Amino acid sequence: MSAIIIFSLLIAVMLTGMPISIALGITVLTFLFTMTSVPIESVALKLFTGIEHFEIMAIPFFILAGNFLTHGGVARRMIAFAKSLVGHWAGGLGLTGVVACALFAAVSGSSPATVVAVGSILLPAMVQQGFPRKFGAGVVTTSGALGILIPPSIVMVMYAVATSTSIGKLFIAGIVPGLLLATILGLVTWFIAWRNGYPKLPRARFADTLRAFRECVWGLLLIVIVIGGIYAGIFTPTEAAAMSAVYAFVVAVLVYRDMPLKRVPKVLLDSANMSAMLLYIITNAVLFSFLMTSEQIPQAMAAWIIDQNLGAWAFLIIVNILLLAAGNVMEPSSIVLITAPILFPVAMQLGIDPIHFGILMTVNMEIGMCHPPVGLNLYVASGITRMGITELTVAVTPWLIAMLLFLLLVTYVPAISLWLPNLIGAR
Amino acid sequence: MKVLDRLEEGLITFLMAAATIIIFLAVVHRYAAGVHWLNPITRTMSFSWAQELCIYMFVWMAKFGAAYGVRTGIHVGVDVLVNRLPPKGRHAFIIFSLLAGAGFTGTIGSLGATLVYEIASTGQTSADLELPMWLVYLAIPCGSYLMCFRFLQVCWRYIRTHQLPSHNEAHVEGIDDLHPRGGQ
């Protein structure tokens, strides 16, 4: 009963268009004030203690690192390297887009930024070479979503925080699905280009490939520091994030010299702004899950679902549908923070691996960014290509279908997510 | 007003930079401490307080950054439905949600102030830094009241000009100057 009241209240408040963080907070306050005897003073304390964990502090650091390297110059170097690798196959520049997005995703935790950085350099070049506009838009919009699957990923940190799972293990688990999805998107691109006879580029000389690699390797080392550092036990994930922020600063300002020193405070301010927004959602989501727990809603839901004898198979279908639906109206971090504390206990009871479940949620979030009405990637891509949302939706369809098939694959083949972390025995 | 704006921006920029540097130094120090010939230097320093300080700095950054975020329009909600309404209904909903934001943050600010007052009377201190806890928790009332003020400010501006601050999530540095030769 109280579950129904809480959720109707939350949905009603959210639909008024107020910030999600505020909507969560108001729901909790209203419910506590009118329906329970929980002392309301404890709410203020929760707003502080909710984010008083060192793990959560990885988020601002990763955002800072990403913002230093989410720079046109870095994207240009990665595109040059990708072009020299795959440009000579059918649909050369299209494949280049997929590879460049995958590379850029390794330094940036944000999908829309990946779409903008790669798209605004690559798309004009593609149009110039005679590719139809919708082909280029489809490639970049969907490949940009790799940003949150290939580590470092803010969404994964959110999941880890909400469910007390290991950040390092999630990151390592994201590598294989990320590469697999990049391959699948590449195959779709290649197939469409091959059938329509889209232009290829001349094969790059080995020396050129090597030079292009040397140019972009500084950016790529970031991901080596993060994954290597966590895996080897040199850093905790939060320390790895702080190290990568310092490293990204050195690369952007001293090595690449893309960023004049006087722009650094602006980057710091923008990162702080973004982080504060996410931390504010986290604090209110913590409040919300505190309310959930005190009303024993996750337990009740878990018991109910297990009573239905659904089994893991059907439960995962429901989770996928629920998350894809939520992806229509909300952005990834909020969805994860609100749904993970409720779905996670059920998944555990059904014997689903926590890491597998995390990857599954992340892939769902990725798809949510690419389909209307609220796919952020679509909006961003529509800004670059000056195509309407409807036209773009048609353009991304082939890749979107491939992503949905990939989601099914990830859902029902846990080994894709679990093989690598188990192989190297990540903790 | 300008002073308050600059102060807010300066504070969160500083906290972001300082927390990064502190954790960086703490990690460097931990590994330098293992090197024998650096011992005379590293022995004189201790970074056991770094984690705690980093957490407090980020909590402060989060509270004041959230207020700054109201001004930059970074807090997004589910606006699909509201945007489909006729302009008059849309205005009403936007004003309602801004006032709800102000009401919520105002309430939290007052709860926080009570909390700070109660904790101050217990004389509690933090584990590593031994800072008085009331000072640490002061972020809640100050940040929330500031946020409340920002909501009211945005609301007032909206009523007068029908303009909301909007955040451009898709901005990437250094793209604009690349664009003219985008074709390479």
A271-298 pLDDT tens trace: 999 999 999 999 899 888 888 888 888 8
Of the pLDDT bands very low, low, confident and very high (cuts 50, 70, 90), residue B157 is very high
- Tell whether A72 lies on the interface with B, counting CB pairs under 8 A: yes
Q: Quote the mean pLDDT of chain A.
A: 88
Buried b (16+ CB within 10 A) or exposed e, A359-390: bbbbbbbbbbbbbeebbbbbbbbbbbbebeee
Amino acid at B44: T
Contact flag A124-B115 (C-beta cutoff 8 Å): no
- Tell whether A64 lies on the interface with B, counting CB pairs under 8 A: yes
Kindly report the nearest CA distance between residue B14 and chain A, in angstroms: 8
Percent of chain B with pLDDT over 90: 41
Contact flag B65-A276 (C-beta cutoff 8 Å): yes
Q: Which of A9, A13, A14, A16 to mutate to test the interface with B (most CBs of B within 10 A)?
A: A16
Report for A80-84, A296-300, A331-335: range of highest mean pLDDT: A80-84
Q: What residues contact A134, with CB distance under 8 A and at least 6 apart? A: A387, A391, A392, A394, A395
Contact A377, A111 (CB under 8 A): yes
Contact A410, A177 (CB under 8 A): yes
Of A22, A40, A273, the CB nearest to B104: A22
Instruction: List C-alpha distances in Å: A48 to A166, A286, B123, B127, B128.
Output: 23, 10, 18, 16, 18
- Tell whether A93 lies on the interface with B, counting CB pairs under 8 A: no
Whole-number pLDDT of residue B98: 93
Instruction: Give the C-alpha separation, A73 to A203, whole Å.
Output: 23
Is pLDDT larger for residue B147 or for residue B78?
Answer: B147
Whole-number pLDDT of residue A250: 93
pLDDT over threshold 80, residue A30: yes
- Tell whether A70 lies on the interface with B, counting CB pairs under 8 A: yes
Of the pLDDT bands very low, low, confident and very high (cuts 50, 70, 90), residue B174 is low
pLDDT 10s digits, A48-77: 777 788 889 999 999 999 888 887 788 889
Whole-number pLDDT of residue B83: 82
Rg of chain A over all Cα atoms, to the nearest angstrom: 22
Residue B8, number of CB atoms within 10 A of its CB: 18
Whole-number pLDDT of residue B176: 58
pTM of the model: 0.90
Structure tokens at B169: 């999530």
Q: What residues contact A56, with CB distance under 8 A and at least 6 apart? A: A157, A161, A279, A282, B58
Contact flag B16-A269 (C-beta cutoff 8 Å): yes
Name the closest residue on chain A to residue B8, using Cα atoms.
A269
pLDDT over threshold 50, residue A105: yes
Whole-number pLDDT of residue B97: 92
- Residue B115: how many CA atoms within 13 Å on its side-chain side? 26
B-chain residues near A60 (CB < 8 A): 16, 19, 58, 61
Structure tokens at A227: 């994954």
Of the pLDDT bands very low, low, confident and very high (cuts 50, 70, 90), residue A46 is confident
Whole-number pLDDT of residue A427: 60
